[in-house]
Amino acid sequence: MSDDAQGGGQPDGDGPFWKGAKKKVLAGIGAAVVAVIGFVVTQVGTDVKDKVFGEPTGIDVDVEQGSDCNSSGWIYPNSPDSERMNTPPGAGKRIQGMTWDQDPDAFGAVPAGPVKLHMAVTTKAVRSAVILKSLTFHLVEKKTPVEGTHVNLGRACGNGATYHYGVINFDKDAPYWVTRPALPSKERSDELKFPYKVTSTDPSVLLVTVIPSGYCKWDAKLEWTDGKTSGTYVINDHGHPFETAEIQKKVRSFEWVGGKRNEV
């Protein structure tokens, strides 16, 4: 009888036991190597990428126009005596689940002016600065004033940031800037005056009041440079010009408080 049969021998080195053990050992070694490589790549990946491709260039701009605290309300194409304009916020007909006050665009409303354009500008680069050179406004289209009902559902906002503040008036000649604007008394601000230096840890917050003339479609372009590359960031409403309507004297204005409509 062989030693194996007596139970005193060792399993064959080429047998199923050793094949399974080898696979487990090799798999463990492979996982360890991948982990080490991943750690090294994580530690030096940014430096290597920057050396090969350079740091990301350009700017990111968080834009808000005509909503919440930057709003002057909306002009709806409905008579003040219409059922819609007498329906409390959150009630009435819905379009894609939203009521007239929750999605004014869907109900044909246009942001009322003057409206505030809020721009928080940051850089894509981590270690280098970007210089903001200029902000240019373009009047894309001008129409007759919008008639209907003005409703202001805007909410007050905090006073956290310091703004660089300017005023655009589309009733003036291009470039439309109103010189020496009156600074908002309730907001920490200084006069908008380029250039501005922006880094990843020190963004710039720009605030521009846009005064329409009639019914205006418009956009803006923010010019920047990092010393090597220059570019233009187009500021608009998700690929389309902003729309802002002047509140005519004959247009009646309302606000809703506690579910009741009050004329203002």
10-residue mean pLDDT profile of the chain (264 residues): values are 44 50 50 45 38 63 69 90 95 95 92 90 87 96 91 66 89 90 72 92 91 94 92 93 92 90 92
Q: How far apart are CA 144 and CA 130, in angstroms?
A: 40
Amino acid at 239: G
Asked whether 69 and 156 are in contact (CB, 8 A), the reply is yes
Dmax (CA) for the chain in angstroms is 114
Do the beta carbons of residue 129 and residue 123 sit within 8 Å? yes
- State the pLDDT at residue 62: 85
pTM: 0.73
Beta bridge partners of 206: 119, 164
Computed from CA positions of residues 78, 80, 84, 88, in that sequence, does the dihedral angle turn out positive or negative? positive
SS3 18: helix
- pLDDT score recorded for residue 72: 84
Cα gap 101→79, rounded to integer Å: 15
Identity of the amino acid at 95: I
Paired tokens of 236: 């608009």
> How many C-beta atoms lie closer than 10 Å to residue 144's C-beta?
8
